[in-house]
């Protein structure tokens, strides 16, 4: 069956109602499109676990700051449709911003009800340099859950803070969806796949590669017994290209999201950095 493209919220809800008549297990893979193999890995996992798979493609305006790349974010719905078709996706749900938020909200966010996860986990790391970003993410993901009503939703470990926040509000708000984390998919050279990698020039890509290289070295040192985050931090800084503008390099307990001084099992080491104008994120769970 061809992947069905749905732009309309009511139509998506009707489709779900029909599926649910026969106890169908529905999986949702939320994306902003410009699909790559990282997204494909989530879709494949969803296909394994669910009878019906919905991929949402929506560049969500309310999670972008005024000086961010909302307008130039890569959009390639025709290519995305081909990939979804090949992977056996049942529905692409791709609403317009007006369908999702109405005319007024596009002019001003003040008209909208938001889902606001706790300050302690949204006002750090990516949230520090992107104020309001995670409220925008939590709100759109909640809306997608209410529209698609998935049994399972699939998110990449690549956006580790996002994943933690989503798991937190799903639990806090008693939502009936199970969150399935999926591992980071990398290019052959080690760079974590991202729709934003298309912004990088050849030289910038070489510079960007020092990000996964520094994470790998941290992992190696940790496995050889070094647990002091000061030492691990300094090592990473010495590996990162000097043309990289580091936003943060942090060590956090991935169960609590609290900062740690000494690395232990399930410590997240996460980096955000700008290479030229492109902001990249990457991480490892130690
Ligand atoms: P995005 O389209 O960037 O919003 O990403 C949609 C989903 O794909 C999110 O859950 C991301 O964490 C996930 N994702 C993006 N890049 C990768 C990657 N390289 N490996 C695994 N998952 C990814």
pLDDT in tens, 248-283: 999 999 999 999 999 999 999 999 999 999 999 999
Q: Residue 101: which CATH number?
A: 3.40.50.620
Query: Are both 201 and 178 inside the same structural domain?
Result: no
* Within-domain flag for 286: no
At which residue do the structure tokens 């591992």 appear?
A: 183
Strand 278-285 versus strand 267-275 pairing type: antiparallel
* Within-domain flag for 190: no
Which ligand 1 atom is nearest residue 192's CA?
19
Query: Are both 66 and 102 inside the same structural domain?
Result: yes
Question: With a 6 A CB cut-off, is 194 part of the ligand 1 pocket?
Answer: yes
Q: Which domain holds residue 168?
A: 4-182
**CA atoms of 99 and 23, how far apart (whole Å):** 28
pLDDT score for 104: 72
For the chain, percent of residues with pLDDT exceeding 70: 99
* Within-domain flag for 221: yes
Mean of pLDDT values over 20-37: 97
Query: Are both 176 and 199 inside the same structural domain?
Result: no
Q: From ligand 1's centre to the CA of 224, what distance in Å?
A: 30
Query: Are both 51 and 145 inside the same structural domain?
Result: yes
Name the average pLDDT for the chain. 96
Mutate-to-test residue for ligand 1 from 42, 57, 63, 144, highest number of ligand atoms within 8 A of CB = 42
* Within-domain flag for 74: yes
pLDDT in tens, 230-248: 999 999 999 999 999 999 9
32 has pLDDT over 70: yes
39 part of the active site = yes
Total domains in the fold of the chain: 2
Query: Are both 88 and 229 inside the same structural domain?
Result: no
Q: From ligand 1's centre to the CA of 107, what distance in Å?
A: 28
Structure tokens at 110: 């003040």
Cβ-contact 250, 269 below 8 angstroms: yes
Query: Are both 14 and 129 inside the same structural domain?
Result: yes
According to the 3-state scheme, what is the secondary structure of the chain? CCCEEECCHHHHHHHHHHHHCCCCCEEEEEECCCCCHHHHHHHHHHHHHCCEEEEEECCCHHHCCCCCCCCCCCCCHHHHHHHHHHHCCCEEECCCHHHHHHHHHHHCHHHCCCCCCCHHHHCCCHHHHCCCHHHHHHHHHHHHHHHHCCCEEEEECCCHHHHHHHHHHHHHCCCCCEEEEECCCECCCCCECCHHHHHCCHHHHHHHCHHHHHHHHHHHHHHCCCCEHHHHHHHHHHHCCCCCEEEEEEEEECCCCCECCECCCCEEEEEEEEECCEEEEEEEEC
For the chain, percent of residues with pLDDT exceeding 90: 95
Question: With a 6 A CB cut-off, is 191 part of the ligand 1 pocket?
Answer: no
**CA atoms of 95 and 80, how far apart (whole Å):** 15
* Within-domain flag for 48: yes
The residue among 147, 182, 217 that closes a domain is 182
Q: Is the pTM of this model over 0.95?
A: yes
pLDDT in tens, 86-105: 999 999 999 999 999 998 77
Residue of 34, 39, 43, 101 marked catalytic: 39
pLDDT score for 109: 73
pLDDT score for 107: 63
Query: Are both 42 and 132 inside the same structural domain?
Result: yes
Residues 6+ apart with CB under 8 A from 121: 127, 134, 161, 164, 165, 168, 257
pLDDT score for 133: 96
Query: Are both 173 and 248 inside the same structural domain?
Result: no
Residues 6+ apart with CB under 8 A from 101: 61, 62, 112
106 has pLDDT over 90: no
Which ligand 1 atom is nearest residue 162's CA?
12
Query: Are both 213 and 266 inside the same structural domain?
Result: yes
* Within-domain flag for 188: no
pLDDT in tens, 162-202: 999 999 999 999 999 999 999 999 999 999 999 999 999 99
Q: From ligand 1's centre to the CA of 81, what distance in Å?
A: 17
């Amino acid at each position: 069956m061809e992947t069905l493209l749905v732009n309309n919220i009511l139509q998506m809800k009707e489709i779900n109602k029909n599926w649910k008549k026969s106890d169908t297990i529905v999986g949702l893979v939320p994306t902003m499109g410009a699909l790559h193999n990282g997204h494909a890995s989530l879709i494949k996992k969803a296909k394994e676990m669910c009878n019906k798979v919905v991929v949402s493609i929506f560049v969500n305006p309310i999670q972008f700051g005024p000086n961010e790349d909302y307008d130039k974010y890569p959009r390639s719905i025709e290519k995305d449709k081909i990939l979804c078709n090949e992977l056996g996706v049942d529905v692409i749900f791709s609403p317009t911003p007006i369908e999702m938020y109405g005319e007024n909200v596009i002019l001003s966010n003040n008209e909208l009800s938001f889902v606001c996860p706790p300050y302690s986990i949204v006002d750090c790391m990516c949230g520090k340099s992107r104020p309001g970003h995670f409220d925008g993410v939590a709100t759109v993901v909640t809306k997608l859950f209410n529209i698609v009503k998935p049994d399972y939703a699939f998110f990449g470990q690549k956006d580790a803070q996002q994943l933690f926040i989503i798991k937190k509000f799903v639990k806090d708000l008693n939502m009936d969806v199970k969150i399935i984390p999926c591992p980071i998919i990398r290019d052959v050279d080690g760079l974590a796949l991202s729709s934003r990698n298309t912004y990088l020039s050849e030289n910038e890509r070489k510079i960007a590669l020092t990000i996964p290289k520094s994470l790998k070295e941290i992992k190696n040192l940790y496995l050889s017994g070094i647990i002091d985050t000061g030492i691990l931090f300094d090592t990473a800084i010495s590996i990162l290209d000097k043309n990289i503008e580091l936003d943060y390099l942090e060590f956090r307990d991935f169960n609590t999201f609290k900062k740690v001084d000494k690395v232990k099992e399930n410590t997240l080491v996460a980096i955000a950095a700008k290479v030229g104008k492109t902001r990249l994120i990457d991480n490892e769970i130690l």
